[in-house]
Structure 1
Amino acid sequence: MESYTYLVEGMTCAHCAAAVTTEVSALPGVDSVDVDVAAGTVRVTAAAEPPASDLEAAVSEAGYTLAGRS
């Protein structure tokens, strides 16, 4: 498994973290998701990096903006 870290804009609380975790965890191949609201980062552990378009759609569905890789 590999870990990939992304910057996500707009997260401010535990509810934000839960929403992003739920959506990103549903992507195929994702093993775990760790959200750091204070840093505005999401660490994804997966067999392969999720496609950028899928990750962006998942973060957007949660109500936030994917700002790139950290």
Structure 2
Amino acid sequence: MSESTYIVTGMTCGHCVSSVTEEIGEINGVQDVQVDLSTGNVTVTSDRELTHEEIRSAVTEAGYQLAS
């Protein structure tokens, strides 16, 4: 089990949270996605190590950006 936290910029509402959660949740191996709207922190729990590019791609597909 692997858990990583990322910072996503541009989220302002519940719809933003839903979009990011949905796109990251579709990555193979993702077990759980927790989004803290106030900080932009997105914690992803998965059954394998995820690449930064996998997360970046999902966040971009949702319409947002990773902070780094």
Structure 1 CA distance for aligned equivalents of residues 14 and 50 of structure 2: 24
AA aligned to 2:31 is D
With structure 2 as the length reference, what TM-score do the two structures score? 0.93
CA RMSD of aligned residues (A): 0.9
SS at match of 2:4: strand
Which residues of structure 2 form unaligned runs of 5+? none
Alignment of 1:1-70 (within 5 A): 1-68=1-68
Query: Unpaired runs of 5+ in structure 1?
Result: none
SS at match of 2:67: strand
Percent identity between the aligned chains?
46
SS at 1:54's partner residue? Answer: helix
Please tell me the residue identity of whatever aligns with 2:46: A
Q: 2: CA distance between counterparts of 1:48 and 1:40?
A: 23
CA distance in 1, matches of 2:11, 2:46: 22
Moved over 6 A (4+): none
Per the TM alignment, residue 67 of structure 1 is displaced from its structure 2 partner at its CA by 1.2
Aligned residues: 68
Could you tell me the TM-score, scaled by structure 1's length?
A: 0.91
